Structure 1
Amino acid sequence: MRLFTLRIDGAAAHIVVHGEIDFDTLPMLRAAAADLPPDVTELVWDLHDARFMDVAGLHLLFEQPPRPGPARKTTVINLAPQPLRLLLLATEVNPDLELACLLSDVLPATLADD
C-alpha cells in the first residue's frame, strides 16, 4: 500500500495519508507537500486512514517551511481519535499553536472560539 494518495483540484491539494505518521514517514509526507505546484493555495490533509500519529505529525502540520508563491492554507479532516487527542494535548502545552485554523471544520464552535 502507498503511504499517501494525492489529488489536486484547481488551487486545492488533498493528501490522504494511509498508515501511521511518525518519523519514518515524515520525510515522504513533507516532500509530498513541498512538491506541490506553487499555485496550490490550499492543502488538505485527510487523516481518515492515519489511526496513529506521534510528535512527527505535529511537525508535519505546524511547521510549514517557507515557499515561494502565495500563502497556503492548511487544514486537516477526518481525524481519528488518537491524532485528535495528540493535537488537543499539543495546544494545551503550547496555546500559541493555531489549532482552530487547522481544524476549523472539525472543532465544535465552542473550542474553535477559545
Structure 2
Amino acid sequence: MDITIVIDGNSARVSPCGEIDSAALPPLRAAVDALPPQVTDLQWDLSLTPFMDIAGLHLLFTPAPSSGPERRMTVTGLRAQPLSLLLMATDVNPAVFDLSRLLPDVPPADLRPAST
C-alpha cells in the first residue's frame, strides 16, 4: 500500500492507494501515529481506495491504542464500495458508526428523518 501524507499547519491529508484490509491497517495506523502532535485535523482521502473491509471500519471508528493527540477526522473521495460499507454499518448500528462525525455534511442520526 502506498500512503501519501500532506501536512499543512494543524491539518493532514492521508491518501492511501489501494485496498484497506487487515494487511493495510497496521501501516495506516503507523502513518497516523507518526503525524506531528500539532496535527488536530485529519482528513482521509479515499479517492484511490476502491475497496475496504471491516479493517476500514476499525480505522475510521476505533481509536488507535496510541496516546497521541485527539484529532478531528473526516473522509473525502469515497468510492462506491467503501461508501456502501459505511452506509450499511450505519444502518446496522448508527450509534457506533455515526457518519456525521466523518462526513460533515451528514446530519446526526437523531436529526435525520426516520426510514420508511
TM-score by length of 2: 0.86
**Residues 103, 39 of structure 1: alpha-carbon distance in 2 compared, 3 angstrom cutoff:** same
Task: Please give the alpha-carbon distance, in whole angstroms, between the structure 2 residues aligned to 1:53 and 1:85.
Answer: 10
Task: Please give the alpha-carbon distance, in whole angstroms, between the structure 1 residues aligned to 2:108 and 2:80.
Answer: 19
**Residues 111, 85 of structure 1: alpha-carbon distance in 2 compared, 3 angstrom cutoff:** farther
Structure 2 unaligned spans of 5+ = none
Is residue 100–residue 113 contact of structure 1 (8 Å, CA) maintained in 2? no
Residue aligned with 1:49, SS: coil
The alpha-carbon deviation at position 94 of structure 1 amounts to 1.1
The alpha-carbon deviation at position 99 of structure 1 amounts to 0.9
Structure 1 unaligned spans of 5+ = none
My pick for the range that moved more, 71-80 or 96-105, is 96-105
After superposition, give the CA deviation of every residue in 1:55-96 in whole Å (9 maximum; x if it has no partner).
Answer: 100000001125344x21000000001100000111111111
Q: Give the aligned partner of residue 93 of structure 1.
A: 92
Paired residue type of 2:100: A
After superposition, give the CA deviation of every residue in 1:35-66 in whole Å (9 maximum; x if it has no partner).
Answer: 11111000000000001011100000001125
Say which one has the larger Rg.
Answer: 2
Task: Please give the alpha-carbon distance, in whole angstroms, between the structure 2 residues aligned to 1:45 and 1:56.
Answer: 14
Is residue 16–residue 47 contact of structure 1 (8 Å, CA) maintained in 2? yes
Is residue 98–residue 109 contact of structure 2 (8 Å, CA) maintained in 1? no
TM-score by length of 1: 0.87
Q: Number of paired residues?
A: 110
Task: Please give the alpha-carbon distance, in whole angstroms, between the structure 1 residues aligned to 2:109 and 2:6.
Answer: 30
Is residue 98–residue 108 contact of structure 2 (8 Å, CA) maintained in 1? no
Is residue 47–residue 76 contact of structure 1 (8 Å, CA) maintained in 2? yes
Question: What is the aligned-residue identity percentage?
Answer: 48
